[in-house]
Each structure stands twice: as C-alpha cells, then as structure tokens.
Amino acid sequence: MATSQEPVIVGFLCNWCSYAGADSAGTGRMVQPTNVRIIRVPCSGRVNPRFILRAFQRGADGVLVSGCHPNDCHYSTGNFFARRRLLLLKRYLEYLGIEPARFETHWVSASEGQKWAEVVRSMAERVKALGPSPKLPSLL
Amino acid sequence: MAQSPVPKATRLVKKAGLGAWLTALAADNNVMAPVTVDGKPLFRWIGAGEVGQLDLAAVHTVNSPKGGVMPQTEPMLTYSAVQDGSGGKTLDIKPAAEDRPAVLFGVRPCDAAAIDLVGKVYLTGEFTDEQYQARRDRTTVVAIACAAPAKACFCTSFDLSPGAVRGADVVLYGRSGPGSVAEGDAYYAIAYTERGEAFLGGAAAKAAGVSDLPAGEADKLEKIVAAFRGLATPLGKKLGKVDVADKLESLFESAYWEKVSSRCLSCATCTFVCPTCYCFGVADTGAGGQGVRFRYWDFCKSPQFMLMAGGHDPRPAKKNRTRQRFLHKLNYHHNRCGEYLCVGCGRCVESCPVGLHLPLVVSDVRGLQP
Amino acid sequence: MPKSLALDPKKMKEAEAALRTQAAKLLSEGTVTVFLGHEEGWDGLPVPFFATTPEEAKRLVWNPLVAFNLAKYLLDRLTGEEKVGIVVNGCGSLALDRLLKDRRFPRERLFVVGIPCTGLLDPDKVLALPDEARQAALEGGKAEPGLFLKRCGWCDAPNPVVADVVLGEKVPEEAGPQQYPRVEEIEKMSPAERAAHFKTLYEKCIRCFACRNVCPACSCRECSLDQWEPLWLGKATVPSEQLMYHFIRAFDVAGRCIRCGECERVCSVGVPLMELNDKLMKDITELFGVQRPHVPADVEPLGQWTEGDADLEAAH
C-alpha cells in the first residue's frame, strides 16, 4: 500500500456527522485530496484503539478519527468517552514511536463539508511530509 | 544407562576461539546460541555482530533452544489467488522457503537430548513431519557439558548426565573438568555423529583454531569426560530416578489434581520454556488474495487448547489441563515411547510463577495413595 | 522510599500466627469453605495456597516473601454460593478492590483478612542471596531498597483498603504524587529511538500470557485476545503481533491498573511491562487530573468524562 508516494490515511468516520460531512464535501464538489480511505463506524466511541494500531500495521501512513462535535453526539455521550480514550491513545502511540502527526482526531458535522475538505487536505500534507510509516515485520 | 557413545573425532578448541568460530559459522548458517539480554540468559538466533554477547556461564537460559528446530512461529506454505487463464481464479500454493543450515551452539546436554526425544514424536510412527525432518537434517547441535549444574537441575533423574551425548553432534567438555564455572581455557570438542565429524573438520572450525589433541592427552580426556558424566545434579540428588509411570495409571481420578492445579495461572510459561513440549496449532493469516499458513506453539494449559467449534471442551477446568500436562510427560509418553517426556532441565522449576512444576508433582505422586 | 518500608519480619511473624488462628476459626465455624493465602513451597518460597480445613490453615505463612497477588484466584470460584476467605496486604487489597469495583466478585461472598504491610521482598532476588544475607533480610529485616519488590518503591497504600478484620496495627502512609522516572526517560527519546526500544522488548516476549493471567484488572469472562473470530491478535509471534499484544494488554487496563507490577514480576524473560502501564497512568493524571490512578475508584477514569476535557482537535 505504501509503495506510491501518496500517503494512505485510514479514516474512521461516525455515521451521523462526519460521514455525512464527507458526503457533503463530495456533493458540494469541493476539491480534496484522495488519500483518505473511509471506514464508517456508528460513533467515534466505537473506535477501539486497536483498530488504529492495526491500520498502521496494515499499511496506513496516517489514521484519522472523526466524529460529531461535543454535545452533538447521536448517542449523547459517545464522543465524550471517545475524547478521553483518544487523548490518552494519542500520547500512547507517540510513546510507542509513532509520530504524533500520523494520528489525528477531528469533529466534523454533517454540514461541514468545507471543514472536512480542509481536515483532509492539511492532514495529507502533514503525513506526506513524514513519508511512509515504518512497518514492523509480519508474516505477510 | 545406555552404552558409552563412541567418539568419531576429538579436537581441542580454545575458549578464546569460540567467537571466531561463531563468526565464521554465521556467514553460512543461522546460528543459535545463549546470550544475556538485560540480565536474562536467552537462547537466540544471533548474527555475526552479536557473537560478542555469547554467554556460556549460565547453565539455564530462560528459554530452551527448541525454537531452533521447532520455531515458535513457522510458515508452512504461502498461497495467492492467480488468474487461471479462463477468466477465473485459482489458488497458487507454494511451500515455505527453506532456511539456511542451522547450528545450535552451546546447547546443554539436557536440551540436546530433548531434541532427540521430541524428534521421535515427529519422525517415527505412521507419519513423518517432513518440514520438521528437513529442519533437523540441516541442523547441527553443538552441546556443552555442564561444569556446575544449577540448583534446579535434575537430568540425572533420567538416563542423562551433565556430560551426556544424546541428541548432540558435537559435545564440548571443559578441559579443566567439572566443578569450575570458568570451564577452563579450552574445550575438548568431541564429535559423536558423522555430521559432527564434518563440522569439526570444516572451514569454520579451522578459522577458530580447532586443533588436534596434544599427544598424550587422551587419558586425561577420558577421565574428564567420565567426570562430567558422573557429576551429580542438586535437584536430581533430592529427587532420585523418576519412577512414577506405573503408579500414575491408577491416579487419573485422584483428588490431587484438583488440589495441585488450583494455583495454576493457566499461562504457557512451563510449556514454552520446556524443551520437550512440542504441541502446535496451525493458523492462516492473509489479506488481499494472498496469505501464509503457519504453525505456532500452542499450550495444553490454555482454556482454548481443547475447545471444540461447537463449544464443548473435553478439558474444561484447570484440574483437567494440569493433569493432562503431567500425565502426558510422566505416563502417556512413557507408555508409548518407553521414556519420560522430560529431560530434567529444571526450567519449569525456575520459571513457573506459582511453583507448580514436574519435580514437585513427581514427589507428590510418590506419596499419594492409589 | 516510603516510610512504611521498615521491613519488620517480627511483626509479620506475629501476623502469621494471628492469621492462622483467624483462618482456622473461619474454617471451623463454617464462615468460609476455603481460605486463600500462601504456604511454603518446594524451595522455601511462598506459593498460593487454598486451605479448606482448620488443620490446613496451620500451613499458612506470612513473611517478607508473600509477593503473590491472590485476588485473581477468586475468578476460579465465581460459581456457587460458598464464602471465600482471603488474606490481603495493602496492594493485595487494591487488587481485590479492583475486582469488586469491576463487579467481578460479590463482596458478600468474601471474608477479607487484612494485614498492614511493612514492605515485601522480591523472592527471586532473595533466593539468589548468600545464606547469611538472606537470613539477615528475612529474619532481621535488613534489606537494601533494591531487594524490595518494585511496587513497594511507589506504594502509598500499605494498609488494606478492603477488610473485614485487620490483624496488626496500621502503618504510616505516605501520600504524594506517583513518580514515573523510567517513563520520563523514554519520553525523552526520539520517535525512532522509542520504536527501536520497544521492538527489542517485544522480541523477547514468548507470549505465555502470564502477565495477562496474573493481572487483577484483566478479568473479562472471555479475553478478546483468545478469540478467533474476530482474530484481534494473530497467533504468530512476529514483531507486529507482539506489539499488538502489549499495546492491547496495557491499554485495556488503562485507568484500572493498580500498579502492582505482578505482570512484570511473573514474566520469565524480563519484559519491562510496566513501562507501558506507567505511561498510561502518568498521562491519566496529567490529562484528567486523577491523582492516584492506581487506586480503584467507583468510576474508572476512562468510564467517565467532563465537558472540560482537553480539546482533542487542539492536541494536534
């Protein structure tokens, strides 16, 4: 996956806000880089930290989690729990030797197509500057 | 006791020459040797650059060198989906790539014997494990006799000794004899197999300055080798010969298993450090139309080990699993192969976090009423 | 070093006698059907022990080597109505409290005998000592700080936090912020250095799961790491899976780890597992203001949130 110069970013997007936000960026024909491979999840609170490490191990150069703004969660509090967990995770990944810029979390609502395009653009730029993410050996 | 093994070649190697030997070997072989990592002696594959870490002082590495012939993770085949020419796809299956020849260096006699012991399981009977056979065929075992057996050693409780030869192609005996940890300034290197003979005559051995025995030293050598073979082991002395196979026949339903297993953690420490535990599982890993099938060490103390797809578990409790592990070693294997599945290395004694190990079970079983 | 580390074998000997009497009484009166403690093992080191009769209770020991955390064994006794007795010191009670707060064992089925702790010694280190030094440590209480269990060095809870009966007097507690010097060292490394550092460690791991199995915070009915479908953790012991294992092991107990360090102590190959657990604890204090992250709380730090938690987007 990381053979091309273009970095691969895996994006975990919540169904209710960010996925719709990305959709509205598309229907609004906003120009955005094509680096993000989107995985739709019910809520940012659904994102288990191990998804993120696994994404890196399977070839992602960056991982993005995006959910509803605080207080806008479809399930009321899912993103608050996610916020705590991901704050901790960000430091943990950095500690394990994954450059902090490779993992980002954003709040993008269904109407924020513009913000989504900007999130993708700026993150792709940062990850591209870092180069391919180093991989640990696996059997594959 | 088996009859005395017959040497095929006898040489002398200076302790100072071992590094050069390993370096020369590493050029064409995968070399496994005991090294100390952060204070823990471990058997590891070492590259030419790590030869300096060689540490023959510790009698017991935490792990055994069994990974040299039974890697903890061993690819068996690779598969990939390819176009079959008529618009469909077919599976292209290739056997795993063969490794380079291997040298297991500085193996203790118990561990060398374990390789032979376990080899019988893989290589005799109705089926032969070809992959294991191939690995064994390209492996040379260079053992080193133990000058000072450790507190937990009990190889002498079986037909073994700190100077035993079983399973080894070459055995190094400290020239100054047993009793000193420094193991003298040189080793007698004695080949007991044709492979060992060729090994001692090889280019790598020359690079290490492996030389002929000085004239008139044959008598001394014989005495020293005999001294190694006559050496007692601390735990072996306490335990005596292991003799519980028959008694265990009637103890399957004993309440003892429930009692002794209650403190078991169900971890794999005993199994994975044991040189004679050989069970494995097989799994696939793959993505994007290609993958690898591999085998990996499995352990009978795991609640998942016997779990069936339908949810039934023939060994549902720690009692069943603990009983299985010890009966396998002390009874089932003895019934099948005429010997215990243990070489008395003492690693379970040293490593079990809750002190639940084979010598304990042996001595407990002796006291049990059938 | 905490003041409570005034290793006092004499006091422990007294506690041992009281413990035997107490356990025998509980067993003979039928208050409990089994009592979890330690007995002297094969090589003189205490091993976990389950006394079922007043006679067996005489085999219970309490000395500077009773390092083993017993609470986890309660999970073997989840079914049934029997009442279980257990002896705990300070950290042992934290482990017990962990299981209670995680609602993994009913409090009413427990009878807890607490013993205030004056510090414990590392059994492996003590066993390696020459006879005289060993005796001085075990009987005279003369022990260098390096001989103590690692967890004693940061202990701020020597007195049992859960107990039905306490044997012996309370020992002075020393509250203060927890220190994480090793984590701070690792944090100073570059990302590449850190990646290399952890890779070396995980290459040592033999995946025996002793660290998980001994952990009082790892108490799920079925561990996800044992599941085949989905296969969270590959069976291959290759570096990527090794990292995945240790990543999950530490993160899944983040906010619930009691810092007992049993994982590290039972590791036969010496993987410094607490480097990960400590990092998470340190960050939980820094990010969420939890001053004693190792002490079980009614709601764990990751099981709650506030509107004022740091802004995630600003963290980039």
Residue C49 in contact with residue C40, Cβ under 8 Å? no
List per-residue pLDDT tens for chain B, 370 residues long. Answer: 456 789 999 999 999 999 999 999 999 999 999 999 888 999 999 988 889 889 988 888 999 999 999 999 999 999 999 998 888 999 999 999 888 999 999 999 999 999 999 999 999 988 999 999 999 999 999 999 999 999 999 999 999 999 999 999 999 999 988 876 565 689 999 999 999 999 999 999 998 899 999 988 999 999 999 999 999 999 999 999 999 999 999 999 999 999 999 999 999 999 999 999 999 999 999 988 899 999 999 999 999 999 998 989 999 999 999 999 999 999 999 999 999 999 999 999 999 999 999 999 999 999 998 7
Chain A residues within 8 A of C254 when measuring between CB atoms: 88, 92
> Nearest 5°: phi and psi at A135?
-115, 140
What local confidence, expressed as pLDDT, does residue C19 receive? Answer: 98
Q: What is the second-level CATH architecture of the domain A9-130?
A: 3-Layer(aba) Sandwich (3.40)
The nearest CA of chain B is from the CA of A58 a distance in Å of: 9
CA distance B194 to B202: 12
ipTM of predicted assembly, 2 dp? 0.93
* Per-position DSSP letters for B42-57, written without gaps between them: EEEEE-GGGGGGB---
CA distance C12 to B111: 42
CA distance C39 to C16: 11
> Least CB-CB distance to A104: which of C191, C301, C316?
C316
CA distances from A7 to A63, A94, A129, B287, C79 (A): 11, 19, 9, 20, 52
Q: Do B267 and C213 touch (CB under 8 A)?
A: yes
Residue A106 in contact with residue A30, Cβ under 8 Å? no
At the top level of CATH, which class does the domain B9-70+98-234 belong to?
A: alpha beta
Residues with Cβ < 8 Å from C108, sequence gap 6 or more? none
> Least CB-CB distance to B267: which of C41, C210, C269?
C210
Nearest to A58 by CA among A104, A103, A10, A94: A10
List the domain boundaries for chain B.
Answer: 9-70+98-234, 245-367
CA distance C194 to C182: 13
Whether B316 and chain C come into contact, CB under 8 Å, resolves to no
Strand order in the sheet with B186-191: B40-46, B30-37, B102-107, B139-144, B170-174, B186-191, B9-14, B211-212
Residue linked to tokens 């197509």: A113
Q: Do C270 and B294 touch (CB under 8 A)?
A: no
For chain B, helix, strand, coil in percent to 5 are: 35, 20, 45
Residue C172 in contact with residue C5, Cβ under 8 Å? no
The nearest CA of chain B is from the CA of A7 a distance in Å of: 19
CA distance C269 to C243: 16
Q: Do B267 and C209 touch (CB under 8 A)?
A: yes
In the structure, how many helices (H) and strands (E) does chain B have?
A: 14, 12
Chain B residues within 8 A of A140 when measuring between CB atoms: 285-287, 290-292
pLDDT, one tens digit per residue, over B151-167 is 999 999 999 999 999 99
List the domain boundaries for chain A.
Answer: 9-130
Whether B81 and chain C come into contact, CB under 8 Å, resolves to no
Q: Do C210 and B265 touch (CB under 8 A)?
A: yes
Whether A139 and chain B come into contact, CB under 8 Å, resolves to yes
How many B-C residue pairs are in contact by the CB < 8 A criterion? 98
Q: To probe the interface with A, which of C184, C197, C251, C277 has the most A CB atoms within 10 Å? A: C251
Listed in sequence order, the DSSP H helices in A14-112 are: 18-27, 49-57, 78-95
Q: Do A139 and B287 touch (CB under 8 A)?
A: no
pLDDT, one tens digit per residue, over A75-105 is 999 999 999 999 999 999 999 999 989 999 9
Q: Do C269 and B304 touch (CB under 8 A)?
A: no
The rounded percent of chain C whose pLDDT value lies above 90 is 84
Whether B38 and chain C come into contact, CB under 8 Å, resolves to yes
Chain B residues within 8 A of A3 when measuring between CB atoms: none
